[in-house]
Amino acid sequence: EASQILKTYEHLLTDSVQVIRKNAVTKSKYRTSRSVRLPPLGDPLIFRIERRAAQLAGRNGTIPPTHCEDFQLTCYATDELYGLHRDDASPAPGRPSANRSATVLIYLQAPTSGGATLFTRRPLEDETDD
């Protein structure tokens, strides 16, 4: 499955961007990878993987497909990164956010060296390129 995904979608990768406001994006310094959103419909392989991910992420069963975001294929070259960031929309000050109940990461290739994913409970300010 991993090799088929890479073969099918690798040529569509573009520089990852940071969303500034609705419908406005800019190249980011804290996210220096290349990525592409994968189609949820039309590719049976992606659909099967999304179903399995929804089953894994669901605490009491499967998360409904209507509650799942499109998968993203992201590739990192040497020295590229996705810096520490919130993995949901930023909540109002003093309020918890609950718009993303689970994140599923699927690694298609192991790095030859380096590479790490860190989850923290520490409150984060909105990530910026300042």
Share of the chain above pLDDT 70, in %: 72
Mean pLDDT (the chain, rounded) = 77
Give tens-digit pLDDT for 105-126: 888 888 777 777 777 766 655 5
Specify the higher pLDDT residue, 22 or 68: 68
Please give the structure tokens belonging to residue 24.
């406005």
Specify the higher pLDDT residue, 128 or 38: 38
Q: What is the pLDDT of residue 90?
A: 57
d(CA 89, CA 51): 24
Q: What is the pLDDT of residue 106?
A: 85
The mean per-residue pLDDT over the stretch 39-53 comes to: 83
Q: Is the predicted pLDDT of residue 32 greater than 90, yes or no?
A: no
pTM, entire model: 0.71
Closest CA to 120 of 95, 91, 92, 83: 83
Q: What is the pLDDT of residue 107?
A: 85
Phi/psi of residue 44, each to 5°?
A: -60, -35
Specify the higher pLDDT residue, 128 or 46: 46
Report H helices in the chain: 2-9, 44-57
Please give the structure tokens belonging to residue 25.
């994006």
End-to-end CA distance of the chain: 39
